[in-house]
Structures are given as C-alpha cells and as structure tokens.
Amino acid sequence: MHVFQAAFVPDPLAVADMRGSTAAFLGQAGLTGPITDNVVLAVSESITNAIEHGHGVIELRLRAVGGTLTVSVTDENPAPAVLQQAGPDDISGRGMALVAALADKWGSSGKETWCQFFCDSIGSPT
C-alpha cells in the first residue's frame, strides 16, 4: 500500500504543487504509463473545483492498494460536486466532467469528492 496526504489553504498556486506531488507519488508507487497523466489531470481538476467552490482547508489523499488508486479531495463545503453542462463559449464548468471521463469511478458525498483508477496492479496499469 502507498499513501500520500496533504492539507493546504485554497490557493490557486497549490494546484501546481499538488500536480507535482501526485506525479512524484505515482512514480514512488510504481505506477507508469498513460494512466499517470490521467490521474494528475483528475487531481488538478478536483483541487481546482475545491478551490473554486469549497470552503476552508483542502485535503488531498492518494491511496494505491492492489489494483486500485483512489484520489480523494475534501473541503468544508457540504454541497457535493456536480457535473455541469458547459457551453462551447464557457471558460469553466468542465472539471468534474473531465474527472468522470478519465476515472473508472467517481463520486461526491458533500465534503469529499473522490475518483478511482483501476490497474492490473500498482506498477502495471491497464
């Protein structure tokens, strides 16, 4: 099992830091290949959503166990993240749709938004 956890204030500069930390974690966990780009993008979009719509401290948790990588982003907003239908001229509103398209599963239960990526095993992505 590999685990990473970070808590930070809602600052747009944190998005780049968490992308870098996620990429480093994935490398340490032995996860390679195109799935890593998908995970990093899902983390980026989930954190951006928490910064834009959440409240209070944001927490990122990554957990790789067996063939499942789970990304969890929490904040203090009790309203769940929702999929939006962004129009072609909208400059935002696509983040959760990207997460849903990239991940094998995703959901939001209020303060937590999560997604999962399934692999044959850590170090051998499907």
CATH number of residue 57's parent domain: 3.30.565.10
Tens-digit pLDDT profile for residues 37-60: 999 999 999 999 999 999 999 999
pLDDT for 22:
98
Host domain of residue 32: 2-118
In a domain, 125, yes or no: no
Does residue 123 fall inside a structural domain? Answer: no
CA distance 49 to 51: 5
* Distance (Å, whole) CA 47 – CA 20: 13
Q: Compute the average pLDDT of residues 13-42.
A: 95
User: Does residue 72 sit within a domain?
Assistant: yes
The verdict on residue 124 lying in a domain is no
Residue 108 lies in a domain: yes
For the chain, what is the domain count?
Answer: 1
Predicted TM-score of the model (pTM): 0.90
pLDDT of residue 124: 46
Q: What is the pLDDT of residues 58-84, one digit of tens each?
A: 999 999 998 999 999 999 999 988 777
Please state whether beta strands 68-74 and 112-118 pair in parallel, antiparallel, or not at all (unpaired).
Answer: antiparallel
Strand partners of residue 6:
60
